[in-house]
Structure 1
């Protein structure tokens, strides 16, 4: 059973005031006020974003130092290494910097670490590569803020480092010539939720301003920034919303050759939304680092023609299918183990199998939470050690829970909702018991129930194409600007409920007092099929459905209360 929580509702006076200014439905006004858009000027900038509203990149701490060193390296034709992580944010960041800088210098090189042999962040192997290849400037993207020891090695070998990162700094900062990270306590940059690729964009934006480079050269790469924002699940607010808005426009109208090839190979239909990127493009780029090496994704994103990009898009498609096969088979095994091992009654889920694929265990942890809503760790064997991925539930700090068990771990790292860990094999049983004790001690009763946040309760008669047209303009949707979720009460069936593919629910519903009838799709909700004889309540989002040349509105069901 999921708990429905109605978000704080705007005051009637606020709604009426905004409605008089905008002349739109009060439901839309209420949604805008919930998002902090409470007067006409705010609405104008919300619905009609302008790139001129981006903050001055030189407001970021150390930007002047970074630009001075980068400009020197370009003009003196020094060897420059662009280093990024193996996930979507990292690969798009490296592609962004490489595509921009390669036209300015013949000495631009790239490096992405191997997930299995080097791990996350700035690796010693990567530093050694830079030393061996006489690199003079080392630029990290989406990583580096905590790589104190390895960046010291670079400095000892007379390699200057510019760090572009968006993660929280530790107590000690690396010895870099410049650190661009708005999350530094003494950085006064007005927005600190940029993606790693977003930080890279600000670096190149400042470089363009300083050196008189026309803005179109950088704007042509904005689809990379949009894909990073979507895939790294950063808030779609402030500068991120601006960059995502224009980046999606670029992706849908004139995508980079690599994206164009990938969209074709994936069979995706434009216009793409943030959600389409998260579930269609992101997993395919990520699959490179999970199944093989992320260099395939970088190769895709740096091709100059769509035809050249096709071979890499095909490879990513195949690797993504392989990733899905691992995902499905391991998830099925994990769910069986939860039942057999008696973990259903526990407050946590901890599972280990030595031959599970390391590249998908984080995904499997999330899948298990969809079935058994509790903090979950999925582990496998790697290089003689047990390595795992932890995922949490809403409100529960899994990092703190791991801290309480750190005596059993070689290392761990992450944040409130996701973490990675490594231990010696002989510590598995001790750790499993200690983690269960830690979760039992820390978890609150309300954190044991999945939550659906509802924006507004509305009537079905309120829904029409005019309302939906404005609703769409409130995007792009993502964290802190989620697609609006509505609740309607006492709806009833106009036709018999159907179950599609043995698990999905298809309804046709109406509500007393209205002639509006809607198709309703509920993925994975087929178990409600025989419970809908009496009026029931629904929680849903509104979508367009295109079928046989006709466009209708349909409700995407999130939950039912009978």
Structure 2
């Protein structure tokens, strides 16, 4: 296959924070392009906090736009080391027919699990932001990994996933990918990473996008919370409320519904999901206040 890097004339040099400065991005793009073009099954693997949900939704929207064969999987339990769960690989990822597994916000130290995937005929691309313990020849996109020259080290899971989207967009000549920055902003704010450098850019541009978003799920949330996009404090409070891991913990079904909320093309369905999740969040907050 022709090297993807040779076909990136469309890549806009004025785009800030070049994704190809991240170690592993060239190899990741080559593998993603092969999977999309050959209609190989892609499975996105991420956890059930808002940052993980935003990352999953982001990649789902982009891959579906490109007509990829894509599904996602959310584990029932968050690993304390943010690893890929071996049982998930054996019992679920394999069953889905995955040929390519893409993690979001986890997997940087999952060397044995990646090897297991490879033995099952599944390639793995890790996108993550946690500290990396050890080195590997596997495809890992993480600004904190050894020998990664990417200057900004404080991206969230959704921020790193967006770097992959930028690379994919450059190859397929996708326009207006900044329309996804509302999702990336939600994950970034929820993760409470330092809002400096690239994260500051993500939040500022994400709030701009929030004003004109065509994401039915986000618009449904805006309607419920009567959000005034000019009031950044209100937006941050909104994200903190819906993004608290305490409101999602142990409610894996709600995480899957939240992914649907951010990816549905049905306005009515989005409004119904938003109402349901808001009720669940309010109920969880009451439970926490009583306990």
- Runs of 5+ in structure 1 lacking a partner? 1-50, 331-562
| Greater CA drift, 275-284 or 160-169 | 275-284
Matched, 1:169 2:127: no
Report the equivalent of 2:152: 191
1:70–1:272 CA distance, 2 compared to 1 (3 A)? farther
Matches within 5 A, 1:218-367: 218-254=177-213, 256-273=215-232, 275-285=233-243, 286=245, 289-290=248-249, 292-293=251-252, 294-330=255-291
**TM-score, normalising length: structure 2:** 0.87
Between the aligned partners of 2:191 and 2:34, the Cα distance in structure 1 is 32
Match of 2:122 among 148, 156, 159: 159
Residue by residue, what CA displacement relative to the aligned partner does 1:139-162 show, whole Å, maximum 9, x if unpaired? 001111122222221111010000
Specify the SS of the correspondent of 1:114. coil
- Deviation, 1:283, is 2.8
Report the equivalent of 1:147: 110
Matched, 1:138 2:96: no
Report the equivalent of 2:36: 74
Between the aligned partners of 1:121 and 1:324, the Cα distance in structure 2 is 28
- Deviation, 1:100, is 0.8
- Deviation, 1:112, is 1.1
Bigger-Rg structure (1/2): 1
- Deviation, 1:52, is 3.6
Between the aligned partners of 2:159 and 2:276, the Cα distance in structure 1 is 27
- Runs of 5+ in structure 2 lacking a partner? 1-12
Q: Bigger relative contact order, structure 1 or 2, given CA contacts below 8 A and separation 6+?
A: 2
- Deviation, 1:116, is 7.6
1:159–1:116 CA distance, 2 compared to 1 (3 A)? closer
Specify the SS of the correspondent of 1:226. helix
Between the aligned partners of 1:160 and 1:116, the Cα distance in structure 2 is 22
Between the aligned partners of 1:257 and 1:106, the Cα distance in structure 2 is 22
Between the aligned partners of 1:118 and 1:213, the Cα distance in structure 2 is 37
Query: CA contact under 8 A between 2:228 and 2:234: conserved in structure 1?
Result: no
Residue by residue, what CA displacement relative to the aligned partner does 1:409-432 show, whole Å, maximum 9, x if unpaired? xxxxxxxxxxxxxxxxxxxxxxxx
- Deviation, 1:291, is 5.1
Match of 2:166 among 205, 208, 214: 205
Report the equivalent of 2:7: none
1:125–1:255 CA distance, 2 compared to 1 (3 A)? farther
**TM-score, normalising length: structure 1:** 0.46
- Deviation, 1:132, is 1.3
Between the aligned partners of 1:272 and 1:82, the Cα distance in structure 2 is 34
1:329–1:255 CA distance, 2 compared to 1 (3 A)? farther
1:282–1:52 CA distance, 2 compared to 1 (3 A)? farther
Matches within 5 A, 1:499-538: none
| Greater CA drift, 205-214 or 156-165 | 205-214
Query: CA contact under 8 A between 1:288 and 1:297: conserved in structure 2?
Result: no
- Deviation, 1:318, is 1.1
- Deviation, 1:75, is 0.4
Query: CA contact under 8 A between 1:288 and 1:295: conserved in structure 2?
Result: no
Specify the SS of the correspondent of 2:65. coil
Between the aligned partners of 1:314 and 1:131, the Cα distance in structure 2 is 34
CA RMSD of aligned residues (A): 2.2
Query: CA contact under 8 A between 2:129 and 2:144: conserved in structure 1?
Result: yes
Report the equivalent of 2:3: none
Specify the SS of the correspondent of 1:81. strand
Match of 1:56 among 18, 23, 38: 18
Higher helix share: 2
Query: CA contact under 8 A between 1:166 and 1:193: conserved in structure 2?
Result: yes
- Deviation, 1:121, is 4.2
- Deviation, 1:267, is 3.7
